Amino acid sequence: MSDTITLAGMRFEGRHGVSAEERAFPQLLELDLVLEVDLAPAGRSDDLADTIDYGPLVELCRGAVERNSFRLLEALAAAIADRVLHATPAAAVTVRVRKLAVPVEADLDFAQVAIRRERARP
């Protein structure tokens, strides 16, 4: 499928990380979602009911980051992907999660994981 909806650069604070020190204080995470979905019906109708509303997607991501605590970015990304596929008709979703303050001794912009999940086929 070549149609996509992209939400890029969402920023939320959450308590995620392997160590207790990382989870002691909220830290800024950045997320991107890319949903693969047929946008032809919305393109023809110009009706929100024929596409996926961005607002609930943002709130889904906010909830995953702010109301949960994961040790791994991989687990957070997987949880978001599962929730997006459950809540929308998207055929697939790619989730990118970036930790902007990485506890390593290096000059590093961020650490990122990216996962892609597809809807199970009947």
Q: Which residues are annotated as catalytic? A: 99
Q: CA end-to-end span of the chain, whole Å?
A: 18
Rounded (10°) angle between helices 73-87 and 54-66? 150
Query: What is the number of other CB atoms lying within 10 angstroms of the CB of residue 19?
Result: 9
Identify the burial level of 15 via C-beta atoms within 10 angstroms of its C-beta, where 0-12 means exposed, 13-18 middle and 19 or more buried: middle
Is the separation of the CB atoms in 29 and 98 below 8 Å? Answer: yes
Q: How many Cα atoms are found within 13 Å in the side-chain-facing hemisphere of 64?
A: 26
